[in-house]
Structure 1
Amino acid sequence: MPPVPEENDDSHTEPTPVRAVHFAEQALLGALFLEPTRIAEVDLDAVHFDNRTHALLFAAMRTVELPDPEKHRESADWVAAVYAKARPQAPGLPHTYPHTLVQACPHPGHVAAYAGMIRADHARRTLRVHAERLARTAADPTLPHRVDATVAQADRLGSLLDQFSGQFAPHPGSLPRTPVAPEPAAEAGEEAVDDEQLLLATATGSPQTVQTMRWLMPSDFTVPLFGAMWGCITGLVHRGGSVDPITVLGEAQQAGLLTGAVTAQDLLGLLSDPHGVPDHWGEKIVRRALLHRARTVADRIVVFVDEPANTPYQLITGCRRALAEFASLHTRWNRATQPAPTTPAARGQGNPSAIRAGPATAATAKQLRTGIAR
């Protein structure tokens, strides 16, 4: 017997709340009990059914030999045989349920339409499962290669969308009807704050390295102020300007970053304590941004899927757009992690303050977490 869903409802009773697919499944099975030969018009497998009992009955229909149409009109033997085939795996299935299914079918000739509803709901459920896996993978700190695992799960989700795209016809109004909420900001944890502060300090001390770090964007930072400061530094570097804490401070002033909560002394202190090399800290920032983007993309897909007004084609379009945002960041991650030749000056060699690639001093980190970064 073909596989049937294992995690769905194993009861013949109506779920709460009752979804449209439940009635579509009942109508399709009722149509096949009435006219078994119509099973040739149904391009489904048992796994497409949401209700496990319905899946078992459909699988039984696939395995029990079809009856002669004339004899079937006068005998319920085939119905009894299907019931007998399915019941061992559904012990609570009452013998009257096939009759209930027959009564639930408005028109046996509409089996293709019922099958389309079932296939669409299966696509919706499957996309949700894969989106949840993507979110769990990206959020799991115990995975030894979390980025690789996250990218692999995103690729599987993309392949699934390619598979579904050939099953549902396009139509006007392809975008999901669900409004897209802004991406939530990543949590500015202790480690993130330290990494971002050290990136700014080391980039100010080794501006030549910044030329090779176009893969790092201000939006990758968890602290908006630090992202804006990175924009100030890269702006100076790409214009060929002089880069040191004072000139960066001038850029920050022009960008309106000096406020009552953030003073010139604060920013000078932020830029004057380099440790390590810029690309080391930059890679950590992009990695964190990539995992955060994977979680937000997964959440967005779940929102699309949970909106019943979205058609399968709209779901596919919306999910592809969301995954494209992840793919663009993944491209930048690949650029960040590709080995590139560097000079001693670019790597901070010979600079005593660049020897230790560790966290900021305790005093600086505490100030950032309790002051500027918040």
Structure 2
Amino acid sequence: MNPLLSAEQAVLGSVLLDPGQLAHLDWLAPDHFYRPVHRALFAALRKLRNDGHPALAAETSVPPLSWVTDAVDEASRRVRGLTASYPHILISSCPRSEHAPVYGRMVLEGAIHRSITEHAIRLHQAARADALQGEVEGALHYADVLTGVLNDLARRWGTEPRPVAPTPPPSTTTVIPLPVRANQVAEDERFLLAVLVERPGAMDEVVGWLRPGDFADPAHGQLYRCLGALHHRGEPIDRITLLWEAQQRGLLADSTLTGDQLTAICDGVGAGSAEWLGEQVIRSSVTRTAATSARAVRSLAENETLAPGRLINHALHALGPLDDVRTRWQTANGRPAPRSPTLALAPNESPPAQVRAALSRSTPRAAPPPSARPGSTPIPTAARPPSRGHN
């Protein structure tokens, strides 16, 4: 038995049994259903309600047959293959129609996981395409789209979108190089390091926005870290001081670097613009980081045990490294980084839409029976907060 399929059938069966349940499902959209026939049926039921169908004004506990037949007719205009018997299967699959908000919450949970997975895949594909073409615009655009989707889903779920690190943290957070243009990226990094060694003052052109983690080759990143340390201390930079700094940091002892590698870089062509080469390095860093963030978000979304609130916040945290490298990329190009879309609230203002979205999926707890012990006082029902069926 598929739990998500059962939840979709149950929420539709609830509305077919009791049209008034639609009033408790305003936060649920047709696109939240996985099966096309379910999307069409829910959209048809919404349309019948908006058109003032007589079933909504009926005083009987059982809706008229026209409510079901009209829903099938309307849905058949949107999707093919819907039979007249299927609504009755939906009705029989609904244990209790008054549980419609809970069934709808399950449908929304599945939609949140599914939507985040789909947008993470698009971000990863855009990052790979940009890496192949030497661009970054596509990856940054889809990163903004994913951020906007996360904020919208947070609003629908009734939670505050904020980056929260998973506990425990992911097993790996390293940036995995994309298997495209790898030779060109490595060549740009070697050229840049050679320029930084041979040209006095070249570090001033890149030190403000280029970081060791932007290098695809970890050894190149460690060499850049050594150059940054020499620059920070105000010491001269040349092949001898770089070799000494690398030795002091243990890079030669732990085989991170070999003397031959260092000699090849220092003997390389040292002519060129450090700023231009640095831009090539950070451009490839943007696409690699975007791909890594996309994989992390997809891994989170595919964890069905992760509650929607935590999933959204963990996904926003996974996009954090991309926001950082994007800001430095914009600095390198002399353009201010655009602000990511967020849900802004005025000071001391409560988010009423989020509160309503959360409470509409909740069921107040019934007051417990009075205790049999003398002198005990039952707690009033109104004093109890509504049960939150989500995180």
TM-score range relative to shorter protein: 0.7 to 0.9
State the Cα distance separating 1:302 from its structure 2 match: 0.6
Distance 2:39 2:126 in 1: 30
Structure 2: runs of 5 or more not aligned? 336-391
Q: Does 2:234 correspond to 1:244?
A: no
* Of 318, 323, 330, the match for 2:326: 330
State the Cα distance separating 1:81 from its structure 2 match: 1.9
Deviation digits for residues 275-332 of structure 1, max 9, x if unmatched? 3122221111111011000011011111111000111101111111011111011111
How many residues are paired up? Answer: 320
Go from structure 1 to structure 2 and tell me whether the alpha carbon gap of 1:142 and 1:169 turns closer, same or farther (over 3 Å shift): closer
* Of 42, 59, 76, the match for 2:43: 59
Aligned to 2:171: 181
* Of 213, 219, 241, the match for 1:225: 219
The equivalences for 1:281-360 within 5 A come to 281-338=277-334
Distance 1:178 1:262 in 2: 32
Structure 1: runs of 5 or more not aligned? 1-17, 340-374
Aligned to 2:380: none
Distance 1:177 1:97 in 2: 44
- More deviation in 250-259 or 50-59? 250-259
Aligned to 2:357: none
Q: Does 2:247 correspond to 1:253?
A: yes
SS at match of 1:58: helix
Aligned to 2:339: none
Aligned to 2:259: 264
Aligned to 1:33: 16
Go from structure 1 to structure 2 and tell me whether the alpha carbon gap of 1:338 and 1:88 turns closer, same or farther (over 3 Å shift): closer
Question: Any conservation in 2 of the 1:37–1:66 contact (CA below 8 Å)?
Answer: no
TM-score (norm 2): 0.75
Q: Does 2:75 correspond to 1:86?
A: yes
State the Cα distance separating 1:145 from its structure 2 match: 8.0
Deviation digits for residues 216-259 of structure 1, max 9, x if unmatched? 11111121111111111111111111111111111111122225
Question: Any conservation in 1 of the 2:197–2:238 contact (CA below 8 Å)?
Answer: yes
State the Cα distance separating 1:154 from its structure 2 match: 1.0
SS at match of 1:309: coil
Calculate percent identity across the aligned residue pairs: 30
Question: Any conservation in 1 of the 2:165–2:317 contact (CA below 8 Å)?
Answer: no
Go from structure 1 to structure 2 and tell me whether the alpha carbon gap of 1:147 and 1:253 turns closer, same or farther (over 3 Å shift): same
SS at match of 2:156: coil
Q: Does 2:193 correspond to 1:200?
A: yes
Go from structure 1 to structure 2 and tell me whether the alpha carbon gap of 1:162 and 1:265 turns closer, same or farther (over 3 Å shift): closer
- Match for 2:245: what amino acid? E
State the Cα distance separating 1:22 from its structure 2 match: 1.2
State the Cα distance separating 1:141 from its structure 2 match: 4.4
Distance 1:36 1:168 in 2: 23
State the Cα distance separating 1:142 from its structure 2 match: 8.8
State the Cα distance separating 1:124 from its structure 2 match: 1.9
Deviation digits for residues 76-109 of structure 1, max 9, x if unmatched? 2321221222234444323221111111111111
Q: Does 2:133 correspond to 1:133?
A: no
SS at match of 2:309: helix
Aligned to 2:273: 277
State the Cα distance separating 1:164 from its structure 2 match: 1.9
Q: Does 2:99 correspond to 1:106?
A: no
State the Cα distance separating 1:62 from its structure 2 match: 2.0
Distance 1:125 1:196 in 2: 38
Go from structure 1 to structure 2 and tell me whether the alpha carbon gap of 1:326 and 1:184 turns closer, same or farther (over 3 Å shift): closer
Distance 1:261 1:134 in 2: 32
Aligned to 2:149: 160
Poorly superposed stretches of 4+, deviation over 4 Å: 141-145, 174-179, 259-263
Distance 2:308 2:151 in 1: 12
Aligned to 1:368: none
Go from structure 1 to structure 2 and tell me whether the alpha carbon gap of 1:254 and 1:66 turns closer, same or farther (over 3 Å shift): farther
Aligned to 1:150: 139
- Match for 1:206: what amino acid? R
Deviation digits for residues 25-49 of structure 1, max 9, x if unmatched? 1111111111112212111222221
Go from structure 1 to structure 2 and tell me whether the alpha carbon gap of 1:120 and 1:263 turns closer, same or farther (over 3 Å shift): closer
Aligned to 1:363: none
Distance 1:230 1:264 in 2: 16
Aligned to 1:8: none
